[in-house]
């Protein structure tokens, strides 16, 4: 009499298991699912009805996508290993808030995309062969664009990993390359432009009321009054607003410097919060929210602002310019760079200085007459 098998059924010679009517592959170490961009151990292959052959075929596709580097050099294989390590460490810092997880996932996809571009470019190189010149030639394609800084950052991280973890090279060839930063945006939003766009949010081209216009107005006002990035205003929760103020730890820095700020609730801010309560048709976890109580998407808010700017006949401005306008206006009202640095939650004063637009030129007090005959 044969014993009843207690372990889960698996296909011979594989780690493909049958579970709940599906074939699933369970890797020993987490690998990236190319369909979702998520680092995971368990991967759905197909249903039982599709058959064993289909399951094995899907496994080969999965492993081929993950493990088969392009080119003749070893660069591709090593950067794949780096990606697994880097994203595994990143997974430890995933926000608990499900809404912020969506933004986090998008960031992970951007990282994978950047590493994919790098892997393709250096596919025929061995890691030890890459020189600073090769890195400079690669980055030259994005000269003056923020992408050049992004690619340099990940190349530098990869080479540092190669030095410290595996001894692949002795010198980081990316570290010695300087990248020209993108030209600083020097657009100044005037008071008239701010109010023109703000007013245009309420009424469309046909003179009809825009359903979400009043809420987007509140978003625009909070961007100005709180000095914070759009993501942090868009995802601000009601329970973060307390009698002593609004505690903000910017999403951009929560896993790096962790620098935050407590923002006092001024009368102007309180009036905006009161308007939001009057506008709201339902209770929501989020301060700024749709009619269904959900946070707006970043693209949805950008689109609403852009359409309003067109209706207001204002060109060349974006939602990001509101933060610079607030900083510039505060500077004109006498607030110091040190005070603004704290409010903007910047680690470097130079970053704060970059937000100040339309600075007045110093007035000379020197006046002389023409020379005497």
User: In 3D, which of 248, 239, 252, 230 has the Cα closest to residue 104?
Assistant: 252
Over residues 53-104, the pLDDT tens digits come to 788 888 877 876 655 556 788 898 899 999 999 999 988 888 887 877 888 8
Q: What contacts 364, CB < 8 A, 6 or more positions away?
A: none
Note the pTM of the prediction, 2 decimals. Answer: 0.68
Predicted local confidence at residue 54, as pLDDT: 84
Predicted local confidence at residue 325, as pLDDT: 92
* Structure token digits, residue 100: 């912020």
Predicted local confidence at residue 12, as pLDDT: 59
Q: How confident is the model at residue 341 (pLDDT cuts 50, 70, 90)?
A: confident
* Structure token digits, residue 338: 């040190």
> Measured between alpha carbons, how far is 111 from 118 in angstroms, rounded to an integer?
11
Q: How confident is the model at residue 310 (pLDDT cuts 50, 70, 90)?
A: very high
Predicted local confidence at residue 6, as pLDDT: 44
User: In 3D, which of 288, 300, 298, 290 has the Cα closest to residue 238?
Assistant: 288
Q: How many beta carbons lie within 10 A of that of residue 350, not counting itself?
A: 10
Q: Is the pLDDT of residue 240 over 60?
A: yes
Tokens 């010679």, residue located: 13
Q: Is the pLDDT of residue 302 over 90?
A: yes
Q: Is the pLDDT of residue 2 over 50?
A: no
Q: How far is CA 84 from CA 32, 66, 111, 153, 270, in A?
A: 7, 10, 12, 17, 46
Query: Phi, psi at residue 110, to the nearest 5°?
Result: -65, -40
> Measured between alpha carbons, how far is 327 from 330 in angstroms, rounded to an integer?
5
């Amino acid at each position: 009499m044969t014993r009843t098998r207690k372990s889960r059924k698996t296909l011979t010679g594989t780690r493909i298991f049958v579970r709940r009517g599906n074939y699933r592959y369970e890797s020993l170490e987490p690998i990236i699912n190319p369909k979702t961009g998520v680092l995971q151990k368990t991967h759905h292959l197909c249903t039982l009805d599709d058959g064993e052959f289909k399951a094995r075929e899907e496994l080969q596709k999965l492993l081929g996508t993950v493990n088969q580097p392009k080119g003749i050099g070893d660069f591709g294989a090593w950067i794949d290993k780096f990606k697994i390590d880097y994203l595994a460490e990143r997974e430890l810092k995933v926000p608990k808030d499900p809404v912020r997880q969506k933004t986090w996932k998008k960031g992970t996809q951007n990282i994978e995309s950047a590493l994919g571009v790098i892997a393709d470019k250096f596919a025929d190189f061995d890691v030890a062969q890459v020189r600073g010149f090769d890195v400079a030639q690669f980055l030259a394609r994005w000269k003056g664009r923020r992408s050049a800084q992004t690619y340099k950052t990940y190349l530098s991280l990869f080479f540092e990993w190669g030095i410290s973890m595996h001894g692949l090279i002795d010198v980081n060839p990316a570290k010695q390359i300087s990248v020209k930063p993108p030209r600083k945006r020097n657009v100044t939003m005037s008071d008239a432009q701010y109010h023109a766009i703000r007013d245009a949010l309420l009424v469309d081209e046909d003179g009809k009321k825009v359903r979400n216009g009043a809420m987007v107005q509140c978003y625009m006002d909070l961007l100005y009054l709180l000095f914070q990035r759009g993501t942090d205003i868009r995802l601000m929760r009601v329970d973060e607003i307390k009698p002593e103020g609004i505690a903000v730890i910017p999403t951009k820095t929560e896993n790096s410097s962790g620098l935050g700020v407590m923002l006092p609730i001024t009368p102007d801010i309180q009036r905006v919060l009161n308007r939001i309560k009057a506008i709201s048709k339902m209770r929501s976890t989020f301060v700024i929210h749709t009619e269904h109580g959900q946070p707006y998407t970043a693209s949805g808010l950008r689109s609403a602002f852009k359409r309003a700017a067109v209706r207001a006949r204002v060109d060349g401005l974006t939602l990001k310019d509101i933060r610079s306008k607030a900083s510039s206006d505060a500077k004109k009202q006498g607030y110091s760079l040190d005070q603004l640095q704290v409010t903007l939650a910047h680690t470097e004063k130079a970053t704060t200085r970059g937000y100040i637009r339309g600075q007045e030129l110093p007035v000379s007090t020197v006046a002389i007459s023409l020379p005497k005959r």
